Amino acid sequence: RREAAEYYRGQRVPERMEEALNALFPLRPQDLYGELANYFSNYSKAPVICKLVGRKVLDGVGQPTLEVEINCTVKNCEKRICSTIMSSHSQIPENAAHETVEADEKERNASVNTAVEWVNQSLNALLRDLKPTDQCQVDKMLGEYFANKVEEKKKIQKQEEGEAEATLALTPCIPSPEPSVKRKGAGPGKKLSVAEKPIPPAEPAEPVLCGSLAIGGASLAIAKAGATVSHIPLYSHIALLKHDQELPEEITLPLPMVTLLNCEKISPTKLKLVKEVMLIPPVQLSCKQGIERILDIQKEMTRLLEVPGKMPTSQLGDSKKGRAQSSGKKGPPPFLKRISHLGCLTTGCDDVEQLLHLMQTACDNIGLQLGTDMYLAINCAAHELMDYNKGKYEILTGTFKSPDEMVDMYVELTDKFPFIIALIDPLRKEDRQQWSNICRALGSKCYLIAEDAATHISKLKTDQNINTPTCSGVVLKYINQTKVSDFIELTGILDGQRHITILGSPDGESSDDSLVDLAVGLGARFIKLGGLSRGERVTKYNRLLAIEEELAKNRTLREAELEFVTFPEESQPEDQLSDVLPPPKED
């Protein structure tokens, strides 16, 4: 009994019990023991991570991906706090060969299996007993773990290369036949096909370490756990991390870039230049009002595409091809009507003006005007258009343009259709001079955004002189080994360089809506989530609406702004074109 009394006195239990009883008696709460539990919970130890669980699950397109679950010790009991599902991302273009797609799927499956193993074994032991609110420490340890895995991989590759060289040295050398001299020149009456200007070769795809999903999944899951145990929304938790634990007085919602049409580049129609047509509501509207307006446009567009061949040709543009169709020789192109994996209508056109006139028709029919009541963004995905044999982009079937001609085409297009306020990936990232040219020509009235043309996140962080094109902003995707701290650091860099941040969802989206909280907490200018169909995408729009309602209720919602950047007319030296990042810091 004496030991018990000393133990409780050492923990100040009698003193705090008396304080609790004195504080609660005047209130006379209906649930006295509930109030006592709440009172004493303020003195309990902070939750700590006790277990990570990794699972192999499916994403929104049926591809394998990773789920990470966080369990914490809360008041002496193990408790499941939250989980997150990573979105899958592939660098394989949609027109890739069947063998390439199969190899990518096999590699993805192996990567998910490795990620599950990392989470359940190494990361489970590594992060145990850490506080879920200590995001910086968690991400530092995850980064060190991943760096060690990269070094292990390099050692294995070096060893395998050494063994291959040794095997090659033992192989007898068989002389190859000399090439025929006659093949050196062109045949009589033939001209050599030479590109107007040599184009920079495509940069190799960023290597993805098998299992890297585990790093991004663990980091995001722990951020969600930190918000949960702190009893605040995830976007507030992210904002606190970004602003050194000082929550901004007002928060701006990112403007949604809502995909209305997915123009497949493998469709039977001729247009290849456009991959996605996106709608951006004006800043004067609330997010709810903007989405409702976009839904009206989507319904009208669905009606227009309902019956193939019934679309009035006059509404599809006045090109020569359009006039030929109106003569009765040939009907309009076969519009498709199905839902893409991006959550939007799939269609095709024979040229870009036909597509833009179709958009104008849909808006006119419901009393809206493009350029005032709604704006357009176009995802060109130019890296999928390059014909390396010709050194040109194939914008229509059989129609090619050089990088310089592409710049002229975009200038002409935005002059004719000024309601286009954003172009995503209008050029490959290797065409750096043309990126500079298009930014100087259009930057003051149109956002020139790099998505696949942007440098990989890992290189943006580590290599300050990386070959990044001049642009208005960058689309960031939370994939692979990306950590929450990486996003916080990168958005701070982009903010300092007056570049806009767009958070985008990968093609293989999951039902996890954390991306929306990340975008709000980080202060992204836009958020690119796909269309207003498919549950995994609609879930995110619903989360965006819920955050808007909560911020409006708390009177902390600030109206968004559209500010374009005027780029200098003078051409910059080659080593200054990578202006997405500041100069390297001195140690």
Q: Which amino acid is at 267?
A: S
Q: How far apart are CA 374 and CA 367, in angstroms?
A: 11
Q: What is the 3-state secondary structure (H, E, C) of 97-117?
A: CHHHHHHHHHHHHHHHHHHHH
> Rounded to an integer, what distance in angstroms lies between the CA atom of residue 524 and that of residue 473?
10
Give the Å distances, CA to CA, from 80 to 69, 83, 225, 559. Answer: 8, 8, 9, 37
Residue 273 CA to residue 378 CA, distance in Å, equals 9
Cα separation, 396 vs 170, whole angstroms: 51
Give the DSSP H or E segment for 93: none
Give me 96's structure tokens. 């890739």
- Alpha-carbon gap, residue 385 to 396, rounded angstroms: 9
Q: Which of 71, 109, 480, 554 is catalytic?
A: 480
For 149, 158, 509, the CA distances from 155, given in Å and listed in that order, are: 10, 5, 34
Tokens at 55, concatenated: 């699972």
Of all helices (H) and strands (E), which one includes residue 176?
Answer: none
Q: Which tokens is 121 given?
A: 């074994």
The two tokens of residue 482 are 């990306």
Neighbouring-strand partners of residue 70: 52, 82
CA gap 104, 92 in Å, rounded? 8
Q: Which residue has the tokens 């990486």?
A: 486
Tokens of 295: 């839904």
Q: Measured between alpha carbons, how far is residue 465 from residues 94, 369, 440, 501 in Å?
A: 31, 43, 21, 20
Whether 38 is a known active-site residue: answer no
Ordered alpha helix ranges (H), 402-463: 403-416, 432-442, 457-462
Reduced 3-state DSSP string for 542-575: HHHHHHHHHHHHHCCEECCCCCCCCCCCCCCCHH
Whole-number Å distance between alpha carbons of 131 and 27:
34
Tell me whether strands 345-347 and 338-339 are parallel, antiparallel or unpaired. Answer: antiparallel
Amino acid in the structure at residue 346 = T
The HSE-up count of residue 546 (CA atoms within 13 Å, CB side) is: 13
Give the residues across from 175 on adjacent strands.
none
Could you list the active site residues? Answer: 480
